[in-house]
Amino acid sequence: MSNGNAPAGGVVLSRLSKSYGEVRAVRSIDLAIAPGETDALAPAIGGVVVLFALVGGVYGFQLATSGPMFEVMKAVPSYWLVQAGKTALGGGTWPAQGWIVIAAWTAALIPVAALAYRRAAVRA
């Protein structure tokens, strides 16, 4: 991104890349956020999403790599979804614990989703 496209007082990220070993997932992307546009990000990045991302593995490795906090991280489905993505990009196997956690959360949340659907259907 050239300096001519940079918003005055905004945020500019240039030539960002991300690799997993030899696999290049993102190659040289640019992002520019003009002043005032950041207010639109707050609703999309709600507190619960950030909490799950932090505790669940997206940023969880910055909190812990062993101990009780790591065990809490491994009980959240987002941790295992991140691990599934890393496995898909880098190869290897996905442990049974990942399948168990995803299945348990799915089984626990199906009744909640069914209740929400019934309530919405009654209102319609």
- Taking a C-beta distance cutoff of 8 angstroms, is the pair 98, 74 a contact? no
Write out pLDDT tens, residues 79-102: 888 888 888 888 888 889 999 999
Domain boundaries, the chain: 7-44, 47-124
In tens, the pLDDT along 31-47 reads: 777 776 655 555 655 66
pLDDT at site 38: 55
What is the predicted pLDDT for the residue at 86? 81
Q: Which of 82, 85, 86 is nearest to 60 (CA)?
A: 82
* Whole-number pLDDT of residue 103: 94
Q: What b/e sequence results for 82-92 when a residue is b if at least 16 CB atoms lie within 10 Å of its CB, and e otherwise? A: bbeebbebeee
Torsion 113-117-123-124 (CA) sign: positive
pLDDT for the residue 53: 65
Rounded to the nearest 5 degrees, what angle is found at the Cα of 30, between the Cα atoms of 24 and 31? 125
Q: How confident is the model at residue 1 (pLDDT cuts 50, 70, 90)?
A: very low
* Rounded (10°) CA dihedral 26, 59, 87, 101: -140
- The residue ranking higher by pLDDT, 88 or 50, is 88
Q: Which residues contact 34 (CB under 8 A, 6 or more apart)?
A: 7, 10
Instruction: Using the structure block, give the residue that is written with the tokens 């049974």.
Output: 96
